[in-house]
Amino acid sequence: MNDQRFSSACILPPMPHLFYLIGPPASGKRTIGQLLERQTGAVLLDNHLWSDPIFRACGVTGHHDLPAGLSPLREQVRLAVMAAAALAPAHVSHIFTNYLTAEAKEQDTYRSLSELARARGAVFVPVVLTCDREELAQRINRPERQDRLKLKNPELLAALLDTRGAFGAPASVPVMDTTELEPEAAARQIAALAGL
């Protein structure tokens, strides 16, 4: 009887995971995140969770440039979501998504997610999603993008990528090209990276 109680006491609960899907608009972050959520039970916190309330209040449609002054407001909501995630029970895993530019400040954004994972004792699983620009331009107006206030203008997408670029992730971060990779396969591969 004592041996049985001892062995039960030594079983550690599974570690939570923090998946971080980074990629340009229309690279499949939310779609893959939704599939990953179904596969793993992790909670999806995609970037439009904190962007859309601000966009909606300002009348943003995704067809025109963003009004000046929105970034600090979006950042306040993002930080509130991260603070709430930090309070989650230990067994809760998360999936965050984001488009990070080539700007130096994005290293801080990336680091903040890594630090959140560390503070929660979670396995950090960042993945950079890439996609051919022609494919991104074709995807930008798909019906499944309409339920959120996502970028919908191919010309604005091209200008965004030309002027702000894409995040230069650390060499250890896996890169997944979603140009031809089916979202289901991408989600399975990301779960496998986490050992799930």
pTM recorded for the entire structure: 0.89
Over pLDDT 70: what percentage of the chain?
93
Over pLDDT 90: what percentage of the chain?
67
Domain spans, the chain:
14-193
Among positive and negative, which fits the CA dihedral 63, 67, 72, 74? negative
Return the C-alpha torsion angle 28, 139, 171, 101, nearest 10.
Answer: -100
What gap in Å lies between CA 50 and CA 79, rounded to an integer? 9
Mean pLDDT, rounded, for 25-46: 95
Given pLDDT bands bounded at 50, 70 and 90, which one contains residue 13? Answer: low
pLDDT above 80 for 179: yes
Given pLDDT bands bounded at 50, 70 and 90, which one contains residue 12? Answer: very low
Minimum mean pLDDT range among 54-63, 77-86, 186-195: 54-63
Mean pLDDT, rounded, for 34-49: 94
What pLDDT digit, counting tens, does each position of 63-92 carry? 777 788 888 898 999 999 999 999 999 999
Token digits of residue 35 = 């599939």
Domain 14-193 - what CATH class? alpha beta
In this structure, the number of other CB atoms found within 10 A of the CB of residue 181 comes to: 15
Return the C-alpha torsion angle 86, 29, 195, 78, nearest 10.
Answer: -10
What gap in Å lies between CA 27 and CA 133, rounded to an integer? 9
